[in-house]
Every structure is written in structure tokens, then in C-alpha cells.
Amino acid sequence: MRMSWTVFAALLLLTSGCAGLDLQKPGEQASEDTDLAFDYVAVGGTGTIDQTLTITNSSDEAAVPTLSFVALDSSGRPLPRVEVSTVYGSDSGLVVAPADYEVFDILRFEGAGADRVEDVDVTVESVDSFPDAGTVYPTIDYLSSSGRSVPYPSQAATVRVKNPGAHDYAVRLVGIAWNRPAPGHSQQAQSVTPVGSLVKVPAGRSVDVPVPAHLRAGFDSLKCYISTN
């Protein structure tokens, strides 16, 4: 089952938390309401990630929401003993959704009934927003110790993060090890490991982020996303 709904909020703009982006002064009102929509997909198609929450920002300002979640069963009933957390940190205000852009986070479920989760209710606890035009999501390349491009994160000594857009921003990288679910069940992030810290990537430039040798073998995936302090 998919769930999608839209939240409109007149927001106060904050100066902290959005490295490399031009924020307005505290207390200034956004020029327009921020328009966010959410869509949860429990089981993706072949070659895609399960348990994803897509965050669509249809406004002309970037948004940094802090979200909370309630797990639901197949009938839409809450599962109160299931704890919902995120891989990227949208529940802690760490995911930036650029203006007129679609980003995603990955959800994790723990506790009694976690295997019965089919959907989620999403609550926007707060949102920061700031002017944004020309932001383009980063691309990444995995590089060996000799600087050669390699196909898998487990082979990468370095991750090259490129900002193809017109504005500086900051990114985080996380390495993910996935569980091995039974057929028909969604796959979940079994462990999530930060790779480095918050990294500023200037517009039109690339930054190389080293991957510690003792971590590489434990990653099935390595993901990069625009984030905040």
C-alpha cells in the first residue's frame, strides 16, 4: 500500500543548520507556503530499495523537515510497539529537499510487529526553509586507492562527490549493510555507518571523501545526500 499526502505550512526561516546555503534572517516569513508530499513504498521493484519514503518539495524554496512516523499494518491500524527510525535522518532534520525536487529517506522498523508494517503515517514536526534556485543533487564515483573507478562501494578507497549545481551545499555519506529477507518480505538496512562527517561541496566542484579501510567490506551500498549541520 502507498500513502501520499501533502502538508502546507507557513514557516519561520532559521539561520542555523544549512551549511553552504544562503539562509534568510531569523523570523522572516517564507515568500510562499512550503509544499511537501510524502509517499511510502514498502517493497520496491527489482534493483530498487525497499522501505523508502519519497519527499517531494513542490515549492520554490528548499525545505528541511523534521518528521515523525507511526507504523501501520495492512488495515491501516497503528502498530504501537514498532519503533520507526530513518537511515538519512529526516526524523532529526538532517535531510534537505531542494526547491522543486524529490528526495528520499529509508525507514527502519524494530520491535514487536515490525514484520507486519505495510505503511506509515507521517507527521511534520517542524520545517526550516530557505531560498534556493539551481541546486542539483550530487553524483558520486567510487575510486580505488590508485584513483581508478570501481563498481562497488566495498572496493572504494575514496568516494568522489560532485556538485553539478549552482550553489554550494553540504553532504553526508552513509554505508549500508542490508538484511537478507525471506521472499516476499521487504529488505531493511541492518546497519548504517557514517562515512566521514559533514562535507561541504562547492558549486561545480568535486570533493574526495576517504573510506576507512576497516569499514569497506561491510557496505552493500554507499549513499550520499544533501544535509545540514
Task: Give the model's pLDDT for residue 33.
Answer: 63
**Tell me, what amino acid is at 215?**
L
CATH number of 3-131: 2.60.40
Q: Where are the domains of the chain?
A: 3-131, 139-226
Q: What's the rounded Cα separation, in Å, for the pair 175 and 216?
A: 8
User: Does 3-131 match 139-226 in CATH topology?
Assistant: yes
Spatial contact of 18 and 10, defined as CB atoms under 8 Å apart: no
Task: Give the model's pLDDT for residue 47.
Answer: 83
| Percent of the chain topping pLDDT 90 | 79
Q: What's the rounded Cα separation, in Å, for the pair 75 and 213?
A: 46
Q: Kindly report, residue by residue over 8-22, the tens digit of the pLDDT.
A: 333 333 323 333 333
3-state secondary structure of 214: helix
Spatial contact of 139 and 116, defined as CB atoms under 8 Å apart: no
- Residues of the chain short of pLDDT 70, as ranges, are 1-33
Residue 126 pairs in a beta bridge with: 66
Please report where in the chains the cell 554507499 appears, as a residue. Answer: 222
Does domain 139-226 sit in CATH 1.20.960? no
Task: Give the model's pLDDT for residue 217.
Answer: 85
The model carries a pTM of 0.85
Q: What's the rounded Cα separation, in Å, for the pair 90 and 103?
A: 11
Q: What's the rounded Cα separation, in Å, for the pair 32 and 88?
A: 27
Per-residue HEC secondary structure of 164-213 comes to CCCCCEEEEEEEEEECCCCCCCCCCEEEEEEEEEEEEECCCCEEEEECCH
Provide DSSP, 108-173.
EEESTTGGG--EEEEEEEEEEEEE--S----EEEEE-TTS-B-SSGGG-SEEEEE--SSS-EEEEE
Q: What's the rounded Cα separation, in Å, for the pair 164 and 229?
A: 21
Give burial (CB, 10 Å; 0-12/13-18/19+) of 46: exposed
